[in-house]
A and B are shown apart, each in its own frame.
Chain A
Amino acid sequence: MGPSGGGKTSILRMLAGLEKPDAGEIYFNGKLANSLSVQERGIGFVFQNYALFKHMTVFDNIAYGLKVKKTRPAVIKERVHNLINIMGLEGTENKFPDQLSGGQRQRVAFARALAPEPKLLLLDEPFAAIDAKIRKELRVWLRSLINEFGTTTIFVTHDQDEAIEVADEIIIIQKGQVEQQGTPWEIYNQPASAFVASFIGESNKLDAPLSLNGFPELSEYKGPDVQVLIRPEWIEIHSENAPVRPEAGQEGTVRHVHFRGDSWYLEIELLNGIRLFTYQAINQQVYQPGDKVNIFIHRLSVFTPKETRILENRSKVDLMPINL
């Protein structure tokens, strides 16, 4: 996953053998694969535009890889029909690609890639052309498909919601470099760099030097290369009359509110001029611009060229401040 132009598709194509790397080696199961031709690599590829064979029926499209392998016609028939049933394409066997809907074409593309039982499945932004709403359903579908077939799958996308929901492991690529590799949980909660933190999920971006209640460590960071990121879900809002921990919260004023369907978007200005945005669930207290609030920041991330640090609000650690 990564921003457009970062090299994700290029890497995928190099794995497939469609492009030659200028340097470096590719190993499949420990064996060097650089010299293998595209045909020999035993991979399945689903293209962004599906690349279905327009002059062939759905059946022939899916059967193509099996015919190349000279599988017996009876076996081909059985496997293709099996795949058609799994993909929910019953009734389309004799139709041509231009008679199908976008979703059907995409399932044909998947079926075609899976028919010859590849050891590696490569998906190049296969959901790019699909409506946002259907994409969400397809993520669940894809997950269960991969689980059922058990094929190692590499999925290229620039949609981070997709990556987080579908992947067992995510590799973040920017400008040809690997920024971080890890599980979705690790990537989200322990981002290795400011880029990863801001690419995945949303963040308030603040510059040093700054001071916030509950984070005395922030005073150590003064330089211009320091980035402080606070995710909106780490910010808890309370009205000024009912603060959670008065010594740990920050006073602020609501400056902007707008409705998002399932939540409210709020922008709060703190006393020292910092503006933070966060979300408030629909069933909770509604705020208006001008309301005075007290916010509690649970944690934040600090990124410097030398280190990455996640700081917890001190008052959470020290639950019993001694106030004798």
Chain B
Amino acid sequence: MRKVFISITVLLFVLILILPFISIVFGAFQNGVGPVIQAFKRPEAIHALTVTFIITVIVVILNAVIGVILSLEIVRGKWIPKWLHSFINIMIDLPFSVSPVIGGLMIILLFGPTTVLGMFFENIGFKIVFALPGMVMATVFVTFPLMVREIVPVLSELGTSSEEASATLGAGPVRTFFQITLPSIRWAVYYGLVLTIARSVGEFGAVLVVSGNIINQTQTATTLVYQDSVNNNIVAADSVALLLGILSILVLLVLEWMKNRKEGRVYAYRGKKFRKALWSISSGQPSKFSN
């Protein structure tokens, strides 16, 4: 009986992951290597990949700072009453449960060209929607839970006794933060950042809505793939998709290596990490089978 279940699982795995990936490889190289290189040399492709890169870098930096500060406040903030804790937990899990498209829509509703905030920012020369800031915002919305959900369990488990020990030895809050607190959570931070990278590169829905997908301006690698597949440019679509796919696999390998490095810290979410990583890639990649 077990063998039947294992066979079904392997079959599903092959159908959903392996076969489509192989078809992407074949689709990209169907006319040889030349068209693939051409696909990457297109100005809109170079621009789109650059935009994805810039967004990812900015989001990683923002998430590192915001993620750590937010996590510290959630776990150790004395000013938070008990009832607020569950509310905060819901808020943090919101981007997981809500479609990224809705995240993008929220930003348009708040900062769109016809809104008070949107017009205010546009007047001071800072365009949010249909520009980079909006796309960064959308990506942060989708990725900051990954940071917080990694760091909070570690902080909760560590407790404050190390920081108290540091204080009794004469260290002030700044030294204690940089020499004791940060090093103690660094692997959770690194892990969260790698997840952030994977998710930012693969983000599609939220960024599509907020950016307007303007070629050579606000197009990202993922929306480029979408556009190519809509225009029936299979080779180009599959080429960029293949690049993103290989990148995801590399990220997963790094994550696996990091997990072993983490010296067996006990998390509540241990089993979900691999699923989360897969999810973050698969939800951002549009399938060329859907129109």
Contacts and interface: CB of A to CB of B under 8 A. Distances in A.
Interface of A: 16-18, 38-39, 41, 43-45, 47, 49, 51-55, 64-65, 68-69, 98, 112-113, 116
A16 B164 CA distance: 10
A98 B184 CA distance: 13
A38 B168 contact: yes
Contact of A55 (B161, B164, B172, B184): B184
A112 B180 CA distance: 15
Given A51-B161, A51-B162, A55-B183, A116 B169 contact: yes
A44 B168 contact: yes
Contact of A64 (B161, B166, B172, B184): B166
B175 A43 contact: no
Contact of A68 (B170, B183, B186): B170
A38 B180 contact: no
Given A18-B167, A44-B168, A53 B175 contact: no
Interface string B149-168: 00000000000011011111
A45 B170 contact: no
Given A53-B184, A65-B170, 11 more contacts: A18-B167, A39-B167, A43-B168, A44-B169, A45-B168, A47-B161, A51-B161, A51-B162, A53-B162, A112-B165, A116-B169
Given A54-B184, A55-B184, A45 B171 contact: no
A49 B168 contact: no
A113 B161 CA distance: 14
A112 to B, nearest CB: 7
B170 A116 contact: yes
6 contacts: A38-B164, A47-B161, A47-B165, A55-B183, A55-B186, A112-B169
Indicate the size class of the contact surface on chain B.
Answer: 10 to 19
Interface in B46-90: none
A98 B263 contact: yes
Contacts of B175: 68
Contacts of A64: 166, 169, 171
A45 B162 CA distance: 11
A138 to B, nearest CB: 20
A39 B172 CA distance: 7
Given A54-B184, A55-B184, A68 B171 contact: yes
B161 A39 contact: no
Contacts of A65: 169-170
Contact of A45 (B165, B180, B183, B184): B165
A52 B162 CA distance: 7
B48 to A, nearest CB: 40
Contacts of A39: 167-168, 170-172
Nearest to B186: A55
Contacts of B162: 51-54
A30 B165 CA distance: 25
B126 to A, nearest CB: 41
Contacts of A47: 161, 164-165
Contacts of B165: 45, 47, 51-53, 112
B169 A51 contact: no
Nearest to B163: A51
Contacts of B263: 98
Contacts of A49: 161
Contacts of B166: 53, 64
Contacts of B167: 17-18, 38-39
A51 B171 contact: no
Interface hub of A68, A113, A116 (most chain B Cβ within 10 A): A68
A52 B263 CA distance: 16
